[in-house]
Amino acid sequence: MNSILSSIKDPSLIEKRRNQIIRSAISLFEKKGFHRTTTREIAKEAGFSIGTLYEYIRTKEDILFLVCDSIYLQVRERLEAQIDPDNSSLAHFINVIRSYFYLMDDMQEEVIIMYQEVKSLKKESKDYVLQKEKDMVSMLERVIAKCFPHSLNSNERQLLANNIFIQGQMWGFRRWMLQKQFTLETYMDSQIQFLIQSIQAKSSSDKC
Amino acid sequence: MNSILSSIKDPSLIEKRRNQIIRSAISLFEKKGFHRTTTREIAKEAGFSIGTLYEYIRTKEDILFLVCDSIYLQVRERLEAQIDPDNSSLAHFINVIRSYFYLMDDMQEEVIIMYQEVKSLKKESKDYVLQKEKDMVSMLERVIAKCFPHSLNSNERQLLANNIFIQGQMWGFRRWMLQKQFTLETYMDSQIQFLIQSIQAKSSSDKC
Amino acid sequence: MNSILSSIKDPSLIEKRRNQIIRSAISLFEKKGFHRTTTREIAKEAGFSIGTLYEYIRTKEDILFLVCDSIYLQVRERLEAQIDPDNSSLAHFINVIRSYFYLMDDMQEEVIIMYQEVKSLKKESKDYVLQKEKDMVSMLERVIAKCFPHSLNSNERQLLANNIFIQGQMWGFRRWMLQKQFTLETYMDSQIQFLIQSIQAKSSSDKC
Amino acid sequence: MNSILSSIKDPSLIEKRRNQIIRSAISLFEKKGFHRTTTREIAKEAGFSIGTLYEYIRTKEDILFLVCDSIYLQVRERLEAQIDPDNSSLAHFINVIRSYFYLMDDMQEEVIIMYQEVKSLKKESKDYVLQKEKDMVSMLERVIAKCFPHSLNSNERQLLANNIFIQGQMWGFRRWMLQKQFTLETYMDSQIQFLIQSIQAKSSSDKC
DNA sequence: AATGAATGAGAGTTCATTCAT
DNA sequence: CATGAATGAACTCTCATTCAT
């Protein structure tokens, strides 16, 4: 599934231990960041020794990669579950966006890590992770295309998908600012309202 | 102006040396991040010895603070120069936003540093820096209020100001995605168009 | 035969497994040296698990001892097979020396290990191994004594035996130097010629 | 002079500290070998902190290289001082060899290190060091050529030079064997006697 | 005011060895 | 008898910081 090497043979044990590692690492990275978190702390938090940790990864950077990979996998799966590719109704569009905002609310810790630590991955891993991000923007873009087939050109769809994607992430990343002024509901509602207005305005302005 | 201690008496020398430090640090942080950059490297890049560096700061974190502080000061000054508080025309609104996007294009390195490294500041410094960010969003908000006095309520203005602010930063931060699809001009034009449409749609929908 | 403890009861299995261990270890030690070779690598090369390896030895040093012991045993057996204790002819002397040089050519890997790693044995094991080396020099000395009963005194015989012994080992150990200038045949022939000349010169000078 | 990098600027300090490092390392390597000696032990023995040690070298292997380089330099200088390139007398030949044996007696520790640890150098450094060894054999060869211009061909000279070189080293390396039977004087005298006999026998056998 | 040699706590990583299965 | 997951002491190396000059 992913390419991190381990000296352990049992695949189900690898998965179990790596999930422990990922959980511990996310919690520590969120508090202290990747660089200030030591491998020993991660091992301790995960409940095993430093030697055991290194049976399941090769370098500290592997842990960061596991974390990033796992975050995107989770976001993708949960978002995909909300998307019906054949449904072109406005209600479905709104529903997908709301689901995405709920998801981002849920994963605030993880989003912060992505923003701050991805740059510490080596180029190859970084490219892999950023491709995942592109894939997710594309998912949103396809929903837009389905629900507003005539109003927007390709560039406009991409831009809007990107804006939505960022607005979701920023709810958690800039919580020190946004979550004083807004509840999740008011934030979502306003953003969705602006969004639909600009799409529909676009649509009617084209007609004139 | 800022509270970093120095053992040097001459204030103009302090300012000169600190500017050298800031310039060197920004360039290094952008390449390698705060944690992977050593104080020795910063001193060398600035053209003096590690001993001299520590005459002008107390800890490595001080350097990060100097950098963040300087970035916001610069953004603020350049944006402020574009704002005419008495001009309520749509053209002026558009002009301010365009200026802000140009500025963000210019300061991509610095924006990346802000996003990734601010969390490494200690609480007190972080609060200080984030307050600066709030101030800047407020500047945009005031322009919106001036140019669209009736269309939007306070929360909506704040949200839009925040969206604009983020969209500007993301031009640089997500360049690996956006700068393949857009030029700065097409990005700006599209964002501004969506923005104005949603404001004006809001305005007319309220009237009905 | 040797005193390394094992938790396995079946002696023939012990011998079989230990021979696997020795073969793997020699090949790895030659490439990477004793310290850079891990017990895991030895077990893997031998075709069984690290747990099994430790059923047949107690410490990593045991492996080195097994290797050294096995090398000397092999050298001794092959050299002994060439020696006829009752033959006092010059031809037999030359034949023994040539056989010894062929043997050293064959065992270059092993000789290198002996030279470089014996010091890593603990005192007791080292003494045991060095005694084996003394025994082998003595074998050569006895052949000299048989073939040149009057020309040399005891010290001289020992010195020549030692010189021959070393010259054989150096053929492999200093191959980076010798094997560019000489073939095994030219090396042997020259060394034997010098050797016999100095013995015979000794003999005739004594007579004068 | 040598290419090991240091972050210290003062060259005379580098030389002083590196000599301390070399002295400490030789003493420790002789007792425990390169791999069992830790960098902390070397620093402690040299009288400074681990941090200071690493200001003067980059890796542990650098220390081994410094040691090997220094040993050869010393051997070379001391041997060169004994050689008069214009003197072709037998007495001079004998004198050079005796000087070389005294030297090897003096440097037993160092010779043992060379035999056992050179293989731990990376290829490039190893080639550099082995070239030095070749150079030293060549020095002996030139003395042979000067003193016995007609008796030996080039290959024979090389072989004898190599034999002498090894016999000197083995006095220390195999002291557990040789130094029980011989004093340095008796060892030297016997070896020189055999050597001269074989050269002179060669010379006269050629004439017949 | 400027220098840079010295420091040592602490980081990531390895690997011989054990022991429950 | 065989396995291999688990352990943690011990290793090499880094780097922010100090202070005598």
Per-residue pLDDT at A205: 64
Per-residue pLDDT at D205: 62
DSSP one-letter code for C120 = G
User: Which residues in D141-166 are b (16+ Cβ under 10 Å) and which e?
Assistant: bebbebbbeebbeeebbbbbbbbbbb
Does the structure show a pLDDT above 90 at B19? Answer: yes
Residue with tokens 């610069």: B74
| C-chain residue closest to D122, CA distance | C32
Residue range C62-116, pLDDT digits in tens: 999 999 999 999 999 999 999 999 999 999 999 999 999 999 999 999 999 999 9
> B176, B152, B178: which is closest to B167 by C-alpha?
B178
Tell me, what amino acid is at A170? M
**Inter-chain residue contact C191 with D159, CB threshold 8 Å:** yes
B144 within 8 A of B157, measured Cβ to Cβ? yes
The rounded mean pLDDT for chain A is 95
Residue D14: pLDDT band (50, 70, 90) is: very high
D194 chain-C contacts, CB cut-off 8 A: 156, 159-160, 163, 198, 202
- How many CB pairs lie under 8 A apart between chains A and B? 101
- Strand E closer than 7 A to residue B48 Cβ: yes
State the nucleotide closest to C40 in CA–C1' terms. Answer: E15
C186 chain-D contacts, CB cut-off 8 A: 155
SS3 at position D187: helix
Nearest to D177 among C134, C191, C194 (CB): C134
What would the mean pLDDT of A185-196 be, rounded to a whole number?
Answer: 97
D125 within 8 A of D66, measured Cβ to Cβ? no
Residue A206: pLDDT band (50, 70, 90) is: low
Residue range C107-143, pLDDT digits in tens: 999 999 999 999 999 999 999 999 999 999 999 999 9
To test the contact with chain B by mutation, choose from A109, A165, A198 the residue with the greatest count of B C-beta atoms within 10 A, namely: A198
Q: Rounded CA gap, B34 and B25, in Å?
A: 8
Per-residue pLDDT at B157: 96
D66 within 8 A of D22, measured Cβ to Cβ? yes
For chain C, strand residue ranges (E) read none
Per-residue pLDDT at D201: 80
CA of A59 to C1' of E12 (A): 8
Residue range B131-178, pLDDT digits in tens: 999 999 999 999 999 999 988 999 999 999 999 999 999 999 999 999
- Give the DSSP letter string of A156-172: HHHHHHHHHHHHHHHHH
Phi, psi of A166 (to 5 degrees): -70, -40
D114 within 8 A of D136, measured Cβ to Cβ? no
> B166, B186, B172, B176: which is closest to A155 by C-alpha?
B186
Strand F within 7 Å of which CB atoms in B 62-121?
none
- Strand F closer than 7 A to residue C127 Cβ: no
Cα of B157 to nearest chain A Cα, Å: 10
A96 within 8 A of A168, measured Cβ to Cβ? no
Strand E within 7 Å of which CB atoms in D 109-168?
none
C187 within 8 A of D155, measured Cβ to Cβ? no
- Ranges of each domain in chain C: 11-207
Per-residue pLDDT at C1: 47
* Cβ-based interface (< 8 Å): residues of A facing B: 33, 35-36, 112, 115-117, 119-120, 130, 133-134, 137, 155-156, 158-160, 162-163, 166-167, 170, 174, 176-178, 181-182, 186-187, 190-191, 193-195, 197-198, 200-202, 205
Distances (CA, A) of C28 to B103, B181, C36, C50, D116: 61, 55, 9, 16, 17
Q: Rounded CA gap, B199 and B207, in Å?
A: 13
C116 chain-D contacts, CB cut-off 8 A: 115-116, 119
B178 chain-A contacts, CB cut-off 8 A: 162
> A202, C124, C13: which is closest to B195 by C-alpha?
A202
A133 chain-B contacts, CB cut-off 8 A: 177
Alpha helices in D49-183 (DSSP H): 50-56, 60-80, 90-106, 108-117, 123-147, 154-173, 175-181
Q: Rounded CA gap, A152 and A155, in Å?
A: 8
Residue range B65-104, pLDDT digits in tens: 999 999 999 999 999 999 999 999 999 999 999 999 999 9
Per-residue pLDDT at B202: 75
Residue with the larger pLDDT of the pair C78 and C202? C78
Residue range B187-205, pLDDT digits in tens: 999 999 999 999 988 777 6
Strand E within 7 Å of which CB atoms in A 28-47?
37-40
Per-residue pLDDT at B128: 96
> A42, C195, A159: which is closest to B183 by C-alpha?
A159
Q: What is the CB-side half-sphere exposure of residue D13 using CA atoms within 13 A?
A: 10
Distinct helix (H) and strand (E) counts, chain C? 10, 0
* Cβ-based interface (< 8 Å): residues of B facing A: 33, 35-36, 112, 115-117, 119-120, 130, 133-134, 137, 155-156, 158-160, 162-163, 166-167, 170, 174, 176-178, 181-182, 186-187, 190-191, 193-195, 197-198, 200-202, 205
Alpha helices in chain B (DSSP H): 11-36, 39-46, 50-56, 60-80, 90-106, 108-117, 123-147, 154-173, 175-181, 184-207
Does the structure show a pLDDT above 80 at D135? Answer: yes
Phi, psi of B38 (to 5 degrees): -95, 155
| A-chain residue closest to B175, CA distance | A130
- Strand E closer than 7 A to residue C122 Cβ: no
What the block records as the tokens of B73 is 């000061």
Strand E within 7 Å of which CB atoms in D 46-85?
48-52, 54-55
Does the structure show a pLDDT above 90 at D19? Answer: yes
D80 within 8 A of D47, measured Cβ to Cβ? no
The helix (H) or strand (E) run that includes residue A18 is helix A11-36
What would the mean pLDDT of A171-187 be, rounded to a whole number?
Answer: 96
The rounded mean pLDDT for chain D is 94
Per-residue pLDDT at B205: 63
Per-residue pLDDT at A208: 45
Please enumerate in sequence order all residues whose Cβ is within 8 A of that of C206, keeping only pairs 6 or more positions apart, or say none: C151
Lowest mean pLDDT among B182-191, D32-41, D92-101, D198-207: D198-207
Residue B121: pLDDT band (50, 70, 90) is: very high
To test the contact with chain B by mutation, choose from A197, A202, A204 the residue with the greatest count of B C-beta atoms within 10 A, namely: A197
A120 within 8 A of A35, measured Cβ to Cβ? yes
CA of B54 to C1' of F18 (A): 10
Q: Rounded CA gap, B91 and C11, in Å?
A: 96
Residue range C147-198, pLDDT digits in tens: 999 889 999 999 999 999 999 999 999 999 999 999 999 999 999 999 999 9
Tell me, what amino acid is at A151? S
**Inter-chain residue contact A170 with B167, CB threshold 8 Å:** no
Residue A170: pLDDT band (50, 70, 90) is: very high
> B130, B127, B143: which is closest to B79 by C-alpha?
B143
Residue with tokens 């689901």: A99
Per-residue pLDDT at A93: 97
Strand F within 7 Å of which CB atoms in D 146-165?
none
Nearest to C119 among D116, D194, D202 (CB): D116
Does the structure show a pLDDT above 90 at C207? Answer: no
Nucleotides of E under 7 A from a protein CB: 1-20
C198 chain-D contacts, CB cut-off 8 A: 194-195, 197-198, 201
B121 within 8 A of B129, measured Cβ to Cβ? yes
**Inter-chain residue contact C137 with D176, CB threshold 8 Å:** no
What would the mean pLDDT of A198-205 be, rounded to a whole number?
Answer: 80
C44-52 contacts: CB < 8 A, separation 24 or more?
C46/C17, C46/C20, C46/C21, C47/C20, C48/C17, C48/C20, C52/C17
Chain centroid to CA B29: 16
Per-residue pLDDT at B4: 87
Q: Rounded CA gap, C158 and D190, in Å?
A: 11
Q: Rounded CA gap, B182 and A199, in Å?
A: 19
Per-residue pLDDT at C208: 44
Residue B1: pLDDT band (50, 70, 90) is: very low
Nearest to C202 among D155, D178, D197 (CB): D197
Nearest to C120 among D33, D159, D197 (CB): D33
What would the mean pLDDT of D34-50 be, rounded to a whole number?
Answer: 98
CA of C43 to C1' of E17 (A): 14
Alpha helices in D174-208 (DSSP H): 175-181, 184-207
> D204, D96, D102, D75: which is closest to D146 by C-alpha?
D96
Does the structure show a pLDDT above 60 at B207? Answer: no
A35 within 8 A of A74, measured Cβ to Cβ? no
**Inter-chain residue contact D201 with C205, CB threshold 8 Å:** no
DSSP one-letter code for A118 = G
> A129, A141, A134, A152: which is closest to A96 by C-alpha?
A141
> B118, B94, B56: which is closest to B199 by C-alpha?
B94
Nearest to D158 among C163, C181, C193 (CB): C181
Residue range A57-83, pLDDT digits in tens: 999 999 999 999 999 999 999 999 999
What would the mean pLDDT of B29-43 be, rounded to a whole number?
Answer: 97
What the block records as the tokens of A41 is 């702390």
State the nucleotide closest to B47 in CA–C1' terms. Answer: E2
C133 within 8 A of D177, measured Cβ to Cβ? yes
> D176, D85, A45: which is closest to C137 by C-alpha?
D176
Cβ-in-10-Å burial (0-12, 13-18, 19+) of B169 comes to: buried
CA of A50 to C1' of F8 (A): 8
**Inter-chain residue contact B155 with A119, CB threshold 8 Å:** no
- D touches C, CB cut-off 8 Å, minimum 3 pairs: yes
Q: Which CATH number, 3.40.50.800, 3.40.50.300, 2.120.10.30, 1.10.357.10, labels domain C11-207? A: 1.10.357.10
Q: Rounded CA gap, A142 and B80, in Å?
A: 39
Residue B208: pLDDT band (50, 70, 90) is: very low
Does the structure show a pLDDT above 80 at A207? Answer: no
D88-94 contacts: CB < 8 A, separation 24 or more?
D88/D146, D88/D147, D88/D149, D89/D147, D90/D147, D90/D196, D92/D143, D92/D147, D93/D143, D93/D144, D93/D147, D93/D148, D94/D192, D94/D196
- Strand F closer than 7 A to residue C52 Cβ: yes
Residue C4: pLDDT band (50, 70, 90) is: confident
Cα of D76 to nearest chain C Cα, Å: 18
Per-residue pLDDT at B197: 93
Distances (CA, A) of B31 to A62, A68, B23, B24, C114: 21, 21, 13, 11, 50
Residue range D83-128, pLDDT digits in tens: 999 999 999 999 999 999 999 999 999 999 999 999 999 999 999 9
What percent of chain C shows pLDDT beyond 70? 96
**Inter-chain residue contact B182 with A155, CB threshold 8 Å:** yes
Nucleotides of F under 7 A from a protein CB: 1-20
C50 within 8 A of C1, measured Cβ to Cβ? no
What percent of chain D shows pLDDT beyond 90? 93
SS3 at position B48: coil
- Could you tell me the pTM of the whole model? 0.93
